[in-house]
Amino acid sequence: MTEHDRWQALQIRRPDEVRTTPGGPVPLGWQAEKRTGHSARLMNTRLPADFPHKVERGDEGDALAVLALGEAMRRDIEAGRGSDVRTAAELGATWRQIADALDTTPAHARGLLRAWATGQHRLYSGDRARGEARPLGLDDERYGAVLALCATGDDGEPPSGMTPEPAIRCLVIRSGGESSPQEPQQ
């Protein structure tokens, strides 16, 4: 039996039951798939008793599973939000764009990233203090890099008092000794 098969057969009544056999997280896609099945059966309970097609009708177990899976998914999404904000910022999204995607303010979006980064830095520091061979989380350098992302302006401008690094011009030397300045390719 695969882990997915085991997951599909598992009865869920509480959010803390949403775990793999080794105790790890269940992919959100699997959770959504399972919740959709329970939801479909619950919707069928609203059909008339003389509905002309064969349908599987839900029960209280389906209702509890929908609630528990919804809560588990909400928690998983919330736990990953800071990492998602980091990814967006690292890939060039401005704080205003990130805030719009989250339906919040740039200051709040920055706060989400700072809180996530601080937690990841604490995780790393704790692992190091316990002598873990491969500590999880953000080391000092990566933590600093994430905090530097928070310092950019709402529309991507560098922090006040800092000027962007000047564009680097390249000197291209062609065969035959000829040279010419060239702007870097983006």
In a domain, 122, yes or no: yes
pLDDT class for 153, splitting at 50, 70, 90? very high
In a domain, 107, yes or no: yes
In a domain, 42, yes or no: yes
At 23, list the tokens. 């105790």
Count of structural domains within the chain: 2
Taking 80 as the threshold, does the pLDDT of residue 163 lie above it? no
Q: Of the segments 146-155, 159-168, 174-183, which one has the largest average pLDDT value?
A: 146-155
In a domain, 186, yes or no: no
Q: How many CB atoms are closer than 10 A to CB 31?
A: 20
Average pLDDT, the chain: 86
Give the range of the structural domain holding residue 145, as residue numbers without chain letter. 92-158
Helix axes 28-44, 60-90, angle to 10 degrees: 140
Taking 70 as the threshold, does the pLDDT of residue 129 lie above it? yes
Same domain, 70 and 9: yes
Express each pLDDT in 67-90 by its tens digit.
999 999 999 999 999 999 999 999
CB 45 within 8 A of CB 58: yes
pTM score over 0.75: no
pLDDT of 159 reads 65
State which of 49, 80, 111 marks the end of a domain. Answer: 80
pLDDT of 21 reads 73
